[in-house]
Structure 1
Amino acid sequence: MSLDIHGLNLVGLRNTFRPDEELKLVLKRHWIVYMYLGFYALFLVISSIILVMYHSSVFSFISGDIFSVFLIIYWSAYLLFLYVTWVNNELDLFVITDQRIRGIEQISFLNRTISECSLDDVKEVNAQTKGLLENLFNFGTVSLHTASENSNFVMHFAPAPIDNASIIRNVIQNNKANKIEQPTI
């Protein structure tokens, strides 16, 4: 079985699977989050052009060398912001197997939470799309509510949320059906 799904190499993650566990779905964020990053980058370029164009009239009290240093610091800070935002979006994913669900959430830079629950503990799977953009580009929120109060899984900007929620529900139902068919000894 190939563990390269949608450009995501899951070989390292495969080491954490149980011997009889089968990967069913990997849910990552929709590509629209990269459009937001593109708008942020466009703002960086436009604001830099405006700063350079009006440097002599608005910032006449700042010499050219100091302004250049300011511009470099501005670009560096903004590019760091873009990188951290990209990492936060890129590393969020749900891994659904035939036995459990693992939610990997990049909360902030160097701050990651990995949650896991058995498919038996999932009580509710919801999908939500609201607004024109979410319906037009087919993205939204997929949430899984578990028996525990502290381990609810929420994926914002999920692609095809209704379809993916349906796939997750089917995996859960198949898991429950397999447990009924296999008597415990």
Structure 2
Amino acid sequence: MNRSKDLDIIAPDDPILETTEPTNIFTKEPSKDFPKKNHPPKKEEKPQTNQKIYDILGHTKSPFSAFLVNPKIFDFTERQDKEVVILAVRSHWIVNLKWIFIAILMLFVPNIVDMLDTLKSLPNSYQFILHLFWYLFTFIYAFEKFLDWYFDVYILTNKRLVDIKFNILINKHFAEADIGVIQDVSSSVRGVLGTFFNFGTVLVQTASEINQIIFKNVPNPERIIKAIQELRNAPNCSPKGGEL
């Protein structure tokens, strides 16, 4: 086989290596010292959201807040694919004052009974057991009221409105309405407490099987209405629930 004497000239019978990497002329293999290009990983596309809505609603951080904007740790089992929870709202915390006051009064009942000597005829061990059961009953009452408040939520997503209610944590009520079927939204704030603490009722009229969804005693009702209207006015909002 005839080889070219000039290293700068390739003989016709020499194979040509097509590579963009430096090649070892003796082994005709890519050089190991050639640094490989590291392509940055593709960033995952975040779901599109309407920044105007978040500007209207503001921001919250505490998971125990009654007004959760874009909650990171909140979810519900009926959430659909690509559905983003924009707002999760509970009744205003002030509605809990009633059962908190009752629970505090219940704590003093054993002391009142002791002062009246109602259980004086019973042995001390029996009195202790009765007191223990009463305090346990008081704790269960207060804890159940707290869980009812915590898990009864109204949810606004990029597709629909959701109303979730629990009755003694056994019976669950679930109602929903797509954004596209909302016909009218109104709110009412009543009383001195409602005006001072800015909470009230939001009434949503729909064209679906559920004629209306009512958000009772929720904080910032005007913000909720503006957020719903912003979703309704989205260009890709459809009767089946559009995506932002």
Change (3 A) 1:131 1:77: same
Gap regions ≥5 residues in structure 1: 181-185
Map of 2:110 onto structure 1: 48
Gap regions ≥5 residues in structure 2: 1-45, 47-59, 64-70, 239-244
- Highest RCO, 1 vs 2 (Cα 8 Å, sep ≥ 6): 1
The 2-side partners of 1:147 and 1:156 are apart by 20
Bigger mean CA offset, 149-158 vs 39-48: 149-158
> Would the aligned equivalents of 2:103 and 2:141 in 1 still touch at CA under 8 Å?
no
Describe the SS at the equivalent of 1:62: coil
Displacement after TM superposition at 1:49 (Å): 2.5
Change (3 A) 1:35 1:128: same
Query: For residues 119-134 of structure 1, what are the structure 2 equivalents within 5 Å?
Result: 119-134=179-194
2:155 equivalent to 1:92: no
Displacement after TM superposition at 1:46 (Å): 2.6
Runs (4+) of structure 1 moved beyond 6 Å?
none
The TM-score with structure 2 as length reference comes to: 0.60
Change (3 A) 1:10 1:142: farther
Change (3 A) 1:15 1:153: closer
Change (3 A) 1:168 1:51: farther
**In the alignment, residue 35 of structure 1 is paired with which amino acid?**
L
If you compute each CA radius of gyration, which structure gives the higher value, 1 or 2?
2
Map of 1:137 onto structure 2: 197
2:168 equivalent to 1:108: yes
The TM-score with structure 1 as length reference comes to: 0.77
The 2-side partners of 1:148 and 1:120 are apart by 10
Displacement after TM superposition at 1:59 (Å): 3.4
**Count of residues paired in the alignment:** 173
Higher strand share: 1
> Would the aligned equivalents of 2:161 and 2:178 in 1 still touch at CA under 8 Å?
yes
Describe the SS at the equivalent of 2:190: coil
Higher helix share: 1
Counting aligned pairs with the same residue, the percent is: 19
2:94 equivalent to 1:32: yes
